Chains A and B, each alone.
Chain A
């Protein structure tokens, strides 16, 4: 995937606050992924409009971290979810 890709959570995949374990999770077909703070922040920005570059820039501003440090992690995280079928990408 590249920074220009525009990912989104497809139908059947959603974030959920697990009130018993007190963590955010991503729920999808046969899968539960526990999210850390960064994961929650990234997924909260997958609106099907913003590109990964835009999301990285936004996170870089919010967390006050250099964008070239953040961007590769964001892409790797989203790409892994794409391979698991939990993120879809709009065709260019």
Chain B
């Protein structure tokens, strides 16, 4: 087997699993890592240096809530010193003017602010945190005042997808340059709540129209990236742009993953930066090579003209829905797994009374 392995472009650093919010669509694992197991400031700084040498250009600081780390400012400074483009993915809770100004000094490049809803009632219900919305709006004002480029990250699902026009308006009002409208992807905790979160086909169709219109009218003012819910698509997305091709993920304790949800695949063995150099893990690690390239793909995909477009889709979705991580993504209309996905979709969307959320506590 001879696949050319390119260096990674992007790294997601999950600084902590701690988070003041309790979103029912949280994509983190159902078992969270405790604070005691988190990497130290120095360990992260070393990872950032290794990542930059390996070819990573963009660093996403995420969580949990990264602001729950007391050393966030130092971590940003370390990332910039390593030469990385540094993006902070936050709910805003845990940030205040003093901290934001310190992040500015440390060289933070970009802020991605998550939005749970466009009204306090909705946002605080979804986030499970009273007063969270007002604090977020206050943080957004300071972000604008400092001049950080801002992306509003709106996670959409059955309960709020109809608020999409108001969500786009809010991005404009907050001075965001970009909005990411991401329909919930079913990983981690979100799987527990799939039936409550899954939007209906009518909602999705309406959302697509709203997005198409907004892209036209807001061209040059607001960049709109839309991630449709993939259960309603005919073909899978190129998950992670191809396993082990572009990005990698570090968990709070230093475990290196090919994607955020890879730990849901039970037979894979993951390595830790404490034990091995990041570049060795990237080029040579068993988990990274397990689904790298297209040689491993089943026959169905080998003969398909989308093979080099979607690489068979998402491994974790195949695992979650079919119990087989090496099957084609069940979103694929050509795959035998699609029947299982359709069955889920029917059952869930037709439920007259949506079940209650199970909040992440």
Question: A-side interface residues toward B, CB under 8 Å?
Answer: 10-14, 16, 18, 20-21, 25, 27-30, 32, 82-85
Contact = CB atoms under 8 A, between A and B. Distances in A.
Contacts of B29: none
A32 B223 contact: no
Contact of A32 (B58, B110, B178, B180): B58
B57 A16 contact: yes
A18 B148 contact: no
A12 B110 contact: yes
Nearest to B10: A32
Contacts of A85: 177-178, 222-223
B53 A20 contact: yes
Nearest to A84: B223
B149 A32 contact: no
Contacts of A20: 7, 53-55
B177 A29 contact: yes
A30 B55 contact: no
B148 A11 contact: yes
A30 to B, nearest CB: 7
Interface of B: 7, 9, 53-55, 57-58, 83, 85, 87, 109-110, 112, 147-149, 151, 177-178, 180, 219-220, 222-223, 225
A45 to B, nearest CB: 21
A84 to B, nearest CB: 6
A29 B87 contact: yes
Given A25-B57, A85-B222, 17 more contacts: A11-B147, A14-B85, A16-B57, A16-B85, A18-B55, A18-B57, A20-B7, A20-B53, A20-B55, A28-B149, A29-B87, A30-B151, A30-B180, A32-B9, A32-B57, A84-B223, A85-B178
B162 to A, nearest CB: 26
A27 B58 CA distance: 8
A27 B55 contact: no
B265 to A, nearest CB: 26
B63 to A, nearest CB: 18
A21 B8 CA distance: 11
A46 B204 CA distance: 41
